Amino acid sequence: MISKLRNRSEVIISFVLGVFFIVLGLFILFNTGQIRNEEEPVEEDKIETIFDLINAFFVEVSNMLSVMIGGFPILAGILIILFGLFMFKVGSWINTTTKYDVPLTFFFIGLSLVLFIVTTVLMTQAYGLWALLFLAAFIIHLLFSIFNEYLNPEHRKEHYMIILLFYGIAYFFTQNAVYSNIESTITPTDVLSINLFFALVWVSSFMALWVGVFMLKANNLLKKPAAAEPEKLSRLNKKNKKMNFTPDKYLGFSGKLYDFRNTILDKLKRFFETDLPSWFKVNYLEVLFGIIVLIFVFLEFNNRNGVFVEGYFRLNQMQTIYEWVNLFITLVLAVLYLVFTIMNLVKNKYYHRQMIVIFVLWLNVTVSLYITLFKDVELSLFILPFNVFLVLLLTPLLLISIFKEFKGEDKNEPDRKI
């Protein structure tokens, strides 16, 4: 069953995107009046039922869409529905013939970029021009996905670190912007609704990118040419070779990180006049800290969850919902980190996934601490002592991930220990 789904994943994604666009188009047609009118604020005090909560989400989505299609919602809705139907036709083409594979490859890559540009434009309503940082991060991610065959897999860790750095910078500045305006021009309802809609479009964008990259590789498009033999190179080829841009020559900085790590460890060994036990692995430390982080995140999540279970919660308490959703995401990240760390320890795999998850988890908790300390808002994921303690735990885990030598994706040798 799973293998069949994988073999038809590009077809399924085409149909899913078609459903998404049709539903979005129908939503626009049924809400043309509201989209045409001026922005309607959400009155949180009147949210009493789950239907009121869903309606609040639709109101926020309408307010966002009015910025882009407020002048022609009917036309936009019809065009989006037609595009959704076209995606079903695209799925049938992929399923029945390879005749259109090349144009469809670039169609999906272009669709991915367009969706993220649209997301960025909508994000400016909550994050201002800082949303452009997310667009820059996505373009870098897009280029990596398309041209990663041209990059040395030995530097895959550096590739991921650069992408994460750009996403991290974008996340910090956008969160700083939104929390500067929250409860004045932006409410927790706005943030929840906007982020949920962004997530839907963002996932759609990455699904389109996945199909585009898959078809790109399946059709051997942009395939890296085989290296020419030195004696067969003409003077023109030699000149072109010198002019070629090779980004990999700038991506060997992890070697310097490892040298710095080894220098520090050697100095510590000399200072304490001892060595690490032969049985010690850095993964043991990662598992221990990961368990402690999971316990503290679960305790904080359980406190918020108790509000729902014990009957003290009301749907108009949007701050509680906002905190619960964010804590649930943090809890999932903590569980994933522990799973990937254990798999890393037992099977020497999931190195990059472990690094990505610990970076996202560290960024989430650290930005939460920054917001608590420097922004005059009541929204906070953790009580201050917990937040400080988690940052102190997660920072060493992030540093370990940065300074740890990763096994190459296509290698079988065991990872070197710190």
Judged by average pLDDT, the poorest of 132-136, 173-177, 235-239 is: 235-239
| pLDDT score of 41 | 59
* pLDDT tens digit sequence for 32-66: 877 777 655 555 556 666 666 666 667 777 777 77
At residue 42, what are phi and psi to the nearest 5 degrees?
A: -90, 125
Average pLDDT of the chain to the nearest whole number: 78
Q: What is the dihedral of CA 300, 380, 175, 366, to 10 degrees?
A: -60
pLDDT at 340 over 60: yes
Q: How far apart are CA 341 and CA 284, in angstroms?
A: 9
Quote the Cα angle for 225-227-228, to 5°: 115
pLDDT at 364 over 70: yes
| pLDDT score of 186 | 62
| pLDDT score of 296 | 92
Whole-prediction pTM? 0.80
Stretch 204-208: mean pLDDT: 89
Quote the Cα angle for 110-116-117, to 5°: 90
